[in-house]
Chains A and B, each alone.
Chain A
Amino acid sequence: DGGITQSPKYLFRKEGQNVTLSCEQNLNHDAMYWYRQDPGQGLRLIYYSQIVNDFQKGDIAEGYSVSREKKESFPLTVTSAQKNPTAFYLCASSKLAGGEQFFGPGTRLTVL
């Protein structure tokens, strides 16, 4: 445990609002990832970043945006364009792309 943190644990948002989920790691990992976890769907990749100032879309990037200005931080913004944002969001990091990924505790987002 430790090393990679996500905040807040629970987040509520009204329809039409953007919201930003925080992900921080002190593991000195180069790569960071955002996944969405829905019941029966497993984990689906939203965005990933292999190095600072660079990131790539995953399988379900529509309605989301990210930034990677610092090595230790990879915030995810859920925009109003995301049609079904209520979900559990997991952040992960790995020393190198393709290596073992370490996961944060997750943020549960609920749109009211």
Chain B
Amino acid sequence: AQRVTQPEKLLSVFKGAPVELKCNYSYSGSPELFWYVQYSRQRLQLLLRHISRESIKGFTADLNKGETSFHLKKPFAQEEDSAMYYCALGGSQGNLIFGKGTKLSVKP
């Protein structure tokens, strides 16, 4: 079965602290993974995808096939990072399978 698990509904950190949002997936083939972000009153938008291996807004994510994980990391959280984060897996039909999301709250 194709599935994405985000174990934390809410993650709260202080400004300047490291942050890691966890994502695990279940997929039999070669996975394509994404992180989407939804800031308050804004559209859901792509943050990064594992193929590009880019760092966006200081966030990185490494695909670990052995652990079937795609955790999102940032060394120093900022208040503007507060948002809802969704991990997504490219499905076999061309669709996206989303996790339930993690709400990140960065406190001053």
Binding site for B on A (CB under 8 A): 1, 31, 33, 35, 40-45, 48, 50, 56, 58, 90, 92, 96-98, 100-106
Contact = CB atoms under 8 A, between A and B. Distances in A.
Contacts of B49: 100
A97 B44 contact: no
Interface stretch (B14-22, B57-65, B70-78, B97-105): B97-105
B94 interface: yes
Contacts, number: 51
B100 A42 contact: yes
A60 B98 CA distance: 14
Q: How large is the interface on B (under 10, 10 to 19, 20 to 34, 35 or more residues)?
A: 20 to 34
Nearest to A50: B94
B43 A97 contact: no
Contacts of A45: 95-97
B103 to A, nearest CB: 10
Contacts of B91: 98
Interface in B45-61: 45-46, 49
B22 to A, nearest CB: 14
Contacts of B96: 33, 43, 45, 101
Contacts of A103: 43-45
Interface string B77-108: 00000000010001101111111110000000
Given A42-B86, A98-B94, A104 B43 contact: yes
Nearest to A38: B100
Nearest to B90: A98
Given A31-B94, A103-B43, A103-B44, 9 more contacts: A33-B95, A42-B86, A43-B86, A44-B98, A58-B95, A97-B93, A98-B95, A101-B46, A104-B43
A100 B95 contact: no
A90 B96 CA distance: 13
